[in-house]
Structure 1
Amino acid sequence: MTTLDTYRLLGRSGLRVSPLALGTMTFGTDWGWGSDKDESRRIFDIYLDRGGNFIDTASQYTEGSAETMLGDFAAGRREQLVIATKYTMARRPGDPNSGGNHRKSMVQSVEASLRRLNTDYIDLLYLHAWDFTTPVEEILRAMDDLVRMGKVLYVGISDAPAWQVSRMQAIADLRGWAPLIALQIEYSLVQRTVERDLIPMAREMGLGVIPWSPLASGVLTGKYTRADLDAGEGTADPSGTRKNVAAANGVLTERALDIADVVKQVAGELGVKPSQVALAWTTLNPGVTAPIVGARTPAQLEDNLGALDVRFTESQLAALEEASRVELGFPHDFLASPMPRQVVFGGAEIDLTR
């Protein structure tokens, strides 16, 4: 049995974090579907009371309300928390420099986050999403400057190509700059394409993987049926309905509902909730440090935390694997096939467990 106070090291660092992170994108009603301040406080308190210490937020979650609430809730307990926030999201419509990955956006966003969080340092700062315009040296040097000033303790990256992340980590190592210790990516039974390059890269380069949307925008809880496929492509506006957001994220599909059916079947066999099955599955990947759980009610959080108690049989894991498998593609499938292995190893057996 795993508990929230069975801490893990985050990437190639000495930072100890809980095996499930508490997401705060639901803190605040600014987008029309979150929790008010009192409900958010109860969710926060339950997580901490169970031993949790890893809180995930971002500069513009619920238009900044999430950070402001978190700052209020953390008063008197700040030192025991590992607070992660992100920069990149535009803060002022029409201002081209109010968002993006560049130094000006980073510094201004961090200063605003520090004010809202009512703290003088951020434990972990992520680049939130790759903008395809900013030189990596500018990003890394600006991050290192913030670390040297003590405004940020550790840095990470989210939603970026694997080759850029590995390149950045190599540059940071060679120049003695603050290394990336965490990679936040979408990962669930519905979204497994990150197993091709992003997760193996993170393990090799010393980044702990922090999955977001491990429940595939709620699809893996069993809340949607095939009648909900009428949402079409949905809307990317976070203030839209949750169903429309799920559709826009590409996870409300026939295939995803087929996977959700298998999740429900396994949950029935184990006598647990489908959400607990889906969350527990993500923790089995050795590259994963802590999936992010989000909740709009204390009951939802309690259900999610129950994932730490789930244990699968071999047949159940096989069923989940079969339903959700993705092709790794070239060169992975090619290199794992018999002919290349024969050419490379000449029939010799190599023990890769040592």
Structure 2
Amino acid sequence: MALDDYYLLGRSGLRVSRLALGTMNFGQDGFHAPYGKTEDEARAIFRAYIDAGGNFIDTADFYTAGESERIVGRLIAEAGVRERMVLTTKATNSVDTGDPNAGGNSRKHLIRALDDSLRRLGTDYVDLFLLHTWDRITPVDEVLRTLDDLSRSGKIRYAGLSDVPSWYAARAQTLADAHSLTPMVSLQLPYSLIERAIETEHVPMAQQLGLGITAWSPLGGGFLTGKYRRDETRTMSGEGRLTGDGAAGQSWTDRQWDLLPAVRDVADELDVTMAQVAVNWAATQPGVASAIVGASNPGQLESSIAALGSELPAELRAQLDEASAVPPSSVYRMFTPEYQGWMVSPGAKVADKPAGYRPPVVNWS
């Protein structure tokens, strides 16, 4: 399963690599600066990706205050691979805190954001344009009309969503189908062995409605690499961005810590790293079109690519699934196998009624 084995993205004819290159750390400005890379460092990572056959690049206007897009654009031009790349960018986050219309998913902001991204990327179109997140304000039909107009203008080739509720994605796709608007082809969401919440609704929704899931943070922010430990005071230790100056302040549950030995056992069985196990699992899960991987250096990226070199045996995948499973909550418990006995058998015939049966007559007087 090398990077030059391409897969269709959702209900589209667009072919993408099973691993996308995340460029959130390209550049040393803005929110992501603590773990950002210089352009020379980014170039080595980018070249390793395209040399391996990769064609799916993920960035956003918000990453390193726009520097990620500038670097990505220069690297693509330098390598002469613009038409070969499936270039993705995203917009939602505010680029000017003093302007109320400089963020969100309004028509005004999305058009402005895309034009700014195209200038930074040095191109006249992007292959895939995503909402970065749900803004909880803009009506979904306004978003759809905007994306449709941008598609018709030629500035974007495909449209998609990132980090939205499943009902929002379902409504967007249904309205797009009903009104012959540009459909959504992808849905970018956090997904890993320690973060499987999207399986409850997002995954089956995406499979039904033709959205290919692109999984971000398949390593759980680095947690699944196994380089972190918890001491007697239940404090995380180890060297990495989860404990350094750029730490995101994530707290980890006992269930997540208890998962690590299972991942380590599978890695030892296959003679690979824990990170490779985690990447392979996420990239090959149902509904996932591509997993987004970042890297601090070419060697780290090459290790992620090597994770696709073999299949996870069914029995080892089952071990990981069991160790990482989260019991369904609330109403979702009703949809589990142990509840099926309460329901009509899926194989029951519709006509299984006594001869001469008629519905009772209701007297409304």
Aligned residue for 2:214, secondary structure, equals strand
Match of 1:38 among 22, 40, 45: 40
Matched, 1:23 2:22: yes
Alignment of 1:291-302 (within 5 A): 291-302=291-302
Take 1:145 and 1:302, find their aligned partners in 2: how far apart are those partners?
39
Cα distance, 1:314 vs structure 2: 3.2
Query: Could you say what secondary structure the match of 1:173 adopts?
Result: helix
1:279 paired to 2:279? yes
Q: Where do residues 41-190 of structure 1 align in structure 2 (5 Å cutoff)? A: 41-75=43-77, 76-190=80-194
CA distance in 1, matches of 2:67, 2:316: 41
Letter of the structure 2 residue corresponding to residue 46 of structure 1: A
Aligned to 1:211: 215
Q: Determine the structure 2 residue equivalent to 1:11.
A: 10
CA–CA distance in structure 1, aligned partners of residues 284 and 44 of structure 2: 29
Deviation of the 1:195 alpha carbon: 0.2
TM-score, length of structure 1 as denominator length: 0.91
What's the CA shift for 1:341? 4.4
Q: Is the 8 A contact 2:26 2:39 kept in 1?
A: yes
- Counterpart-to-counterpart distance in 2, 1:181 and 1:314: 29
**Runs of 4+ more than 4 Å apart:** 346-349
Question: Within 5 A, what are the aligned runs for 1:219-298?
Answer: 219-227=223-231, 230=235, 241-242=245-246, 244-245=247-248, 247-248=249-250, 250=251, 252-298=252-298
Shift of 1:332: 4.1
C-alpha distance in structure 1 between counterparts of 2:270 and 2:26, whole Å: 31
2:57 counterpart SS class? strand
The 3 A distance-change label for structure 1 pair 346 and 283 is closer
In the alignment, the residues of structure 1 paired with residue 339 and residue 16 of structure 2 have an alpha-carbon distance, to the nearest angstrom, of 43
8 Å Cα contact 1:229-1:253 kept in structure 2: no
Partners of 1:16 and 1:347 in 2: how far apart?
38
Cα distance change, pair 261–150 in 1 and its aligned pair in 2 (3 A): same
Aligned pair in 2 of structure 1 residues 304, 229: CA closer, same or farther (>3 Å)?
farther
Could you tell me how far 1:92 is from its partner in structure 2?
1.2
Give the aligned residue type for 1:285.
Q
Q: Is the 1:335–1:341 contact (alpha carbons within 8 Å) kept by the matching residues of 2?
A: no
Verify the 8 A CA contact 2:160 2:186 in the aligned structure 1: yes
The code of the aligned residue for 1:9 comes to L
Shift of 1:330: 4.8
Distance in 2 (alpha carbons) for counterparts of 1:347 and 1:84? 44
- C-alpha deviations, 1:262-294, integer Å up to 9, x for none? 212211111101110001011232200000000
Gaps of 5+ in 1: 233-237, 350-354
Moved more, 193-202 or 27-36: 27-36
Structure-2 separation of matches of 1:329 and 1:289: 27
| Distance of 1:282 and 1:309 partners within structure 2 | 14
- 1:235 corresponds in structure 2 to none
Q: Deviations over 1:146-186 (max 9, x none)?
A: 00100011000010010111011111111111000000000
1:348 Cα deviation from its structure 2 partner: 5.6
- The superposition leaves residues 111-168 of structure 1 with CA deviations (integer Å, 9 ceiling, x where unpaired) of 1100000000010000001111110111110111100100011000010010111011
CA distance in 1, matches of 2:189, 2:263: 21
| Contact in 1 for aligned 2:229/2:236 (Cα 8 Å) | no
1:339/1:130 Cα in 2 relative to 1: closer, same or farther (>3 Å)?
closer
| Contact 1:8 1:16 survives alignment (8 Å) | yes
Aligned partner of residue 316 in structure 1, secondary structure: helix
Q: Which residue of 1 aligns with 2:317?
A: 317
Unpaired segments ≥5 residues, structure 2: 350-365
| Secondary structure of 1:269's aligned partner | helix
Match of 1:197 in 2: 201
TM-score, structure 2 as length reference = 0.88
Q: 1:311 to 1:109 in 2, by over 3 A?
A: same
- Give, in whole Å, the separation in 2 of the partners of 1:348 and 1:241: 60
Alignment check: 8 A CA contact 2:228 2:236 kept:
no
For 2:53 and 2:346, locate their aligned partners in 1 and report how far apart those are by CA, in whole Å: 51
How far is the alpha carbon of 1:261 from its aligned partner? 2.4
Tell me the C-alpha RMSD between the 2 structures.
2.1
